[in-house]
Chain A
Amino acid sequence: MAYSERVIDHYNNPRNVGQLDKGSTEVGTGLVGAPECGDVMRLQIRVNPATQVIEEAKFKTFGCGSAIASSSLATEWIKGRTVDDALGIKNTDIVKELSLPPVKIHCSVLAEDAIRAAIGDWKKKNSAPVAAVAAEAVAVAG
Chain B
Amino acid sequence: MFKVIDSAVPIACWSCSIGHNDSTLFCPHCSKIQPPPGGDYFSVFGLEPRLNLDLTALEHEFHRLSRKLHPDRFARAEENEKQWSLADTALLNDAYRTLKDPLRRTEYLLKLLGAEIGAGQESKEEKVARVPADLLEEVFELNMQLEEMRAASKTGVEDPELQAGLEQAKRRFDGLLVEVDQDLRTQWQAWDEGDAAARASAQRRMVALLDRRRYLSNLVRDVTETLGA
Given A38-B214, A38-B218, A62-B143, A31:B124 Cβ within 8 A: no
Interface 1/0 per residue, B21-63 and A, CB below 8 Å: 0000000000000000000000000000000000000000000
Give the interface SS of chain B, mostly helix, strand, loop or mixed.
helix
Q: Which residues of A contact B219 (CB under 8 A)?
A: 38
Task: Check if B127 is an interface residue, CB within 8 A of chain A.
Answer: yes
- Residue on A with the closest CB to B215? A38
Are B215 and A33 touching (Cβ within 8 A)? Answer: yes
Q: Could you say which of A35, A37, A60, A113 has the most chain B C-beta atoms within 10 Å of its C-beta? A: A35
* Chain A, range 98-133, C-beta contacts under 8 Å to B: 109, 112-113, 117
Task: Check if B140 is an interface residue, CB within 8 A of chain A.
Answer: yes
Q: How far is the CA of A117 from the CA of B124 in the complex (A)?
A: 12
Task: Check if A42 is an interface residue, CB within 8 A of chain B.
Answer: yes
Task: Check if B131 is an interface residue, CB within 8 A of chain A.
Answer: yes
Are A35 and B131 touching (Cβ within 8 A)? Answer: yes
A68 → chain B, closest Cβ, in Å?
13
Are A40 and B139 touching (Cβ within 8 A)? Answer: yes
Task: Check if B90 is an interface residue, CB within 8 A of chain A.
Answer: no
Are A35 and B140 touching (Cβ within 8 A)? Answer: no
Give the size of the chain B interface in residues (CB under 8 angstroms).
Answer: 19
A35 → chain B, closest Cβ, in Å?
3
Q: Which residues of B contact A60 (CB under 8 A)?
A: 140, 144
Task: Check if B128 is an interface residue, CB within 8 A of chain A.
Answer: yes
Task: Check if A32 is an interface residue, CB within 8 A of chain B.
Answer: yes
Are A35 and B133 touching (Cβ within 8 A)? Answer: no
* Chain A, range 48-67, C-beta contacts under 8 Å to B: 60, 62
Are A31 and B133 touching (Cβ within 8 A)? Answer: yes
Q: Which of B133, B140, B212 contacts A62 (CB 8 A)?
A: B140
A-B contact count (CB 8 A): 41
A21 → chain B, closest Cβ, in Å?
16
* Chain A, range 11-60, C-beta contacts under 8 Å to B: 31-33, 35-38, 40, 42, 60
Are B128 and A32 touching (Cβ within 8 A)? Answer: yes
Are B143 and A113 touching (Cβ within 8 A)? Answer: no
- Residue on B with the closest CB to A42? B140
Q: How far is the CA of A32 from the CA of B139 in the complex (A)?
A: 11
Q: Which residues of A contact B195 (CB under 8 A)?
A: none
* Chain B, range 121-171, C-beta contacts under 8 Å to A: 124, 127-128, 130-131, 133, 136-137, 139-140, 143-144, 147
* Chain B, range 94-130, C-beta contacts under 8 Å to A: 124, 127-128, 130
Of the A-B pairs whose beta carbons lie under 8 Å apart in the complex, a sample of 11, sorted by A's number, is A31-B136, A32-B128, A33-B128, A35-B131, A36-B214, A38-B214, A40-B140, A60-B140, A62-B140, A109-B124, A117-B128
Are B211 and A32 touching (Cβ within 8 A)? Answer: no
Q: How far is the CA of A35 from the CA of B127 in the complex (A)?
A: 8
- Residue on A with the closest CB to B217? A38
Are A35 and B130 touching (Cβ within 8 A)? Answer: yes
